[in-house]
Amino acid sequence: MIRCINVCKSFDGREVLSNIDATFERGKTNLIIGQSGSGKTVLLKCMVGLHEVTSGDIMYSDINFSGLSNTQRSEERKKIGMIFQGGALFDFATVEENVMFPLNMFTDMSVEEKRERANFCLKRVNLENVNYLFPSQISGGMQKRVAIARAIALNPKYLFCDEPNSGLDPITAGVIDDLIMELTQEYDITTIINTHDMNSVMQIGDKVIFIYKGKKWWEGTKDDILDSDNQELNSFVFASEMAQMVKKYHKRLSGK
């Protein structure tokens, strides 16, 4: 479980996050949604320590992550897996070497064991016969799956995903979403996903937090969204015509 307690973040005096209080539960896919520039990426980066919080605390179970020294933080980070928006695969390494990288750095496994583990992770994300290709030689969807395989290589306790299906077609995006949800439940991970893809929200949103102008504006589940009267949330979620039709249809069915 991860908790944000009164998290504030400012850049050069400009407040980007204001008193964010949120709890992200274990074994669930926790989604942070919001418009571009609302502060959701900053919140995610604060949670993993890429940005220092201006005030407030980030708690990993009982550990105050934001109060740890760099060395302690490095240790704690070995329990974290992260999927970046662009994949962030290492250009200098092949697919297999990318997945083996955390194993090389932090385990004393033999080469065979590491290769076996890497192949297991690649198979888990439905990737085969790409081991010796470089990231530039595979598609965007494959890169995302390699990033997931790398993120789960060390059996993380926490999985952070920054817009994991941006730039992907709806089918591939759905595959990535399903994969993240399956892994979350299978390994009982605390997963936090940053997204503005409404399909993802409705597909895997066990818990949804809506950030608006740097503040936590709304919190609930994917089912609560359809019944919510929150104006800002509605104008964000149901911005497209198709989404408005879904809402109308839902209202008609539920008789509200």
Partner 1 sequence: MNFFTSIGKYSLFIYRVFSKPEKWSIYYRRTIYEVDKLGLNSVGIVVIISVFMGAVITLQTAYNTSSPFLPTYIIGLAARDSIILEFSSTIVALILSGKVGSNIASEIGTMRITEQIDALEIMGVNSAGFLVLPKIVATVFFFPVLTILSIFVGIFGGWLVGEFTGAITTMDYIKGIQWGFVPFYVTYSLAKTVVFAFIITSVSAFHGYHVKGGSLEVGRASTKAVVVSSILVLLFNLILTQLLLK
Residue nearer to partner 1 on the CB measure, 39 or 135: 135
Residue nearer to partner 1 on the CB measure, 85 or 199: 85
Q: How many residues bind partner 1 (CB under 8 A)?
A: 24
Residue 9 CB, nearest approach to partner 1 (Å) = 16
User: Quick check: helix, strand or coil at residue 210?
Assistant: strand
Residue nearer to partner 1 on the CB measure, 84 or 134: 84
Residue 132 CB, nearest approach to partner 1 (Å) = 17
The piece of 27-35, 100-108, 202-210, 237-245 that touches partner 1 (CB under 8 A) is 100-108
**What residues contact residue 53 under an 8 Å CB cut-off, 6+ apart?**
7, 8, 9, 46, 66
Q: Which of 101, 109, 140, 166 binds partner 1 (CB under 8 A)?
A: 101
Q: Which of 33, 80, 209, 226 binds partner 1 (CB under 8 A)?
A: 80
CB 33 within 8 A of CB 236: yes
**What residues contact residue 5 under an 8 Å CB cut-off, 6+ apart?**
21, 56, 57, 58, 59
How far apart CA 136 and CA 54 sit, in angstroms, is 38
Residue nearer to partner 1 on the CB measure, 87 or 214: 87
Residue nearer to partner 1 on the CB measure, 153 or 201: 153
Residue 106 contacts partner 1 per CB under 8 A:
yes
How far apart CA 84 and CA 144 sit, in angstroms, is 8
CB 179 within 8 A of CB 154: no
Q: Return the closest-CA partner of residue 158 out of 4, 17, 24, 43.
A: 24
Residue 85 CB, nearest approach to partner 1 (Å) = 7
Site string for partner 1, 191-230 (x = CB under 8 A): ----------------------------------------
Show the beta-strand stretches assigned E in 157-206: 158-162, 190-195
Q: Which of 18, 35, 54, 104 binds partner 1 (CB under 8 A)?
A: 104
Residue 47 contacts partner 1 per CB under 8 A:
no
CB 212 within 8 A of CB 35: yes
Residue nearer to partner 1 on the CB measure, 72 or 221: 72
How far apart CA 209 and CA 213 sit, in angstroms, is 13
**What residues contact residue 141 under an 8 Å CB cut-off, 6+ apart?**
168, 169, 172, 175, 176
Residues interacting with partner 1, by CB under 8 A? 48-50, 73-78, 80, 82, 84-86, 88-91, 101-102, 104-106, 160
